Amino acid sequence: MKVTVLGGGNWGTTVASLVARRHDAMIWARNSAVVEEINKDHRNSAYLAGFDLNPKLKATDDFEQAVRHAELLIMGVPTGAVRETSANTRKLIRPWIPVVSLAKGFEQGSLLRMTEVIREELPNHPVAALTGPNIAREVMAGQAAASVVATPDLAVARALQQVLSSGLFRVYSNEDVIGCELGGALKNVVAIACGMAEGLGVGDNTRALVMTRGLAELMRLGVAMGGQATTFAGLAGMGDLIATCLSPASRNRSVGEKLGRGMSVAEITGGMTMVAEGLKTAVTTHELAQRYQQDLPIHETIYGVVTGSVDPTEAYRGLGPTPGHENEPG
């Protein structure tokens, strides 16, 4: 199968390199230097320094060439670029070609999930989300990992599993697209909270509290939005949450650590080459919680930190349950 990955970041590059083991894979990147390095040296030092890519992976900065190549199109751009990129493919992509989203977050303003955005721009194409506990550098190092391809069409899911599974990277299927996408997006906010705990030097008890209650909050909102509770106990929910909260390689956890050490959001983002989606998702989650009338104290506290109304050093005083909501579970 001819597979194209749009986006030359760390996860898009990782997925492209995995797929290239058994398929004709091409990656599109805006930066011509990245394209040249992938083609000549089989590396992407800007995002995956120290790792060799599959030598069969091809790269291009020609968007039309990349899209017309695809029998499967994988959208690996940040959330803020998904709509524009999807729209730009409309006149180039072949009919009925499946589209897989790698981005974990929401569109600002509309509050749409990424598969919803893609479906609006490409209405006659099957759309799926690939999500789970996937730290790119660990996958590139050959360590065992698993992900979930979420789509309501099980025939499409089975076909995508065959293409995306590779070696020790196993792909499961799930019909609950809403739950899978919400788990992947909302856990980034909890990861910022856990990172702040690290930066502030609080104990493991506090981190356990934040992760556990954070999972309960994202499950509560997810179910209110139409997701299935069982999804949040799986790879796309708890699995992704654990990896993102605990891994030093997690961008969102790193943002939280720096906030806990006294850096401002502007200082942190000014020095980043990759996007930490949790900063934007914190604002979106605040809006979704209001829309669906859900009480999410941890997410609300991180929203306050991100928007400047809460001092990170005081944040952990507000991470407990709101009176009247102290019962477990949920």
Active-site annotation, residues: 187
Q: Is there a binding annotation on residue 163?
A: no
Q: Is there a binding annotation on residue 47?
A: yes
> Contact, 163 vs 23, CB < 8 A?
yes
Q: Is there a binding annotation on residue 327?
A: no
Q: Is there a binding annotation on residue 330?
A: no
149: three-class secondary structure by DSSP: strand
Omega within 30 of 0 (cis) for the link into 329: yes
Q: Is there a binding annotation on residue 132?
A: yes
Q: Is there a binding annotation on residue 292?
A: no
**How far is it, in rounded angstroms, from Cα 213 to Cα 256?**
17
Q: Is there a binding annotation on residue 183?
A: no
Q: Is there a binding annotation on residue 199?
A: no
Q: Is there a binding annotation on residue 136?
A: yes
Q: DSSP of 7-34, one letter per residue?
A: --SHHHHHHHHHHTTTSEEEEE-S-HHH
Q: Is there a binding annotation on residue 58?
A: no
Residues 6+ apart with CB under 8 A from 103: 75, 76, 77, 78, 79, 82, 114, 277
Which two structure tokens, joined as six digits, stand for 218? Answer: 């994202």
Nearest to 221 by CA among 259, 162, 277, 181: 181
Q: Is there a binding annotation on residue 251?
A: yes
Pairing state between β 72-75 and 99-101: parallel
Which two structure tokens, joined as six digits, stand for 144? Answer: 């065992």
Q: Is there a binding annotation on residue 87?
A: no
Q: Is there a binding annotation on residue 7?
A: yes
Q: Is there a binding annotation on residue 280?
A: no
Which two structure tokens, joined as six digits, stand for 176? Answer: 């609950």
**How far is it, in rounded angstroms, from Cα 299 to Cα 282?**
7
**How far is it, in rounded angstroms, from Cα 9 to Cα 14?**
8
Helix axes 251-260, 277-291, angle to 10 degrees: 90
Which two structure tokens, joined as six digits, stand for 100? Answer: 């897989």
- Known binding site: residues? 7-12, 30, 47, 104, 132, 136, 187, 240, 250-252, 275, 277
Residues that constitute the known binding site for substrate: 104, 251-252
Residues forming the annotated binding site for sn-glycerol 3-phosphate?
104, 132, 187, 240, 250-252
Q: Which residues are annotated as a binding site for NAD(+)?
A: 7-12, 136, 251
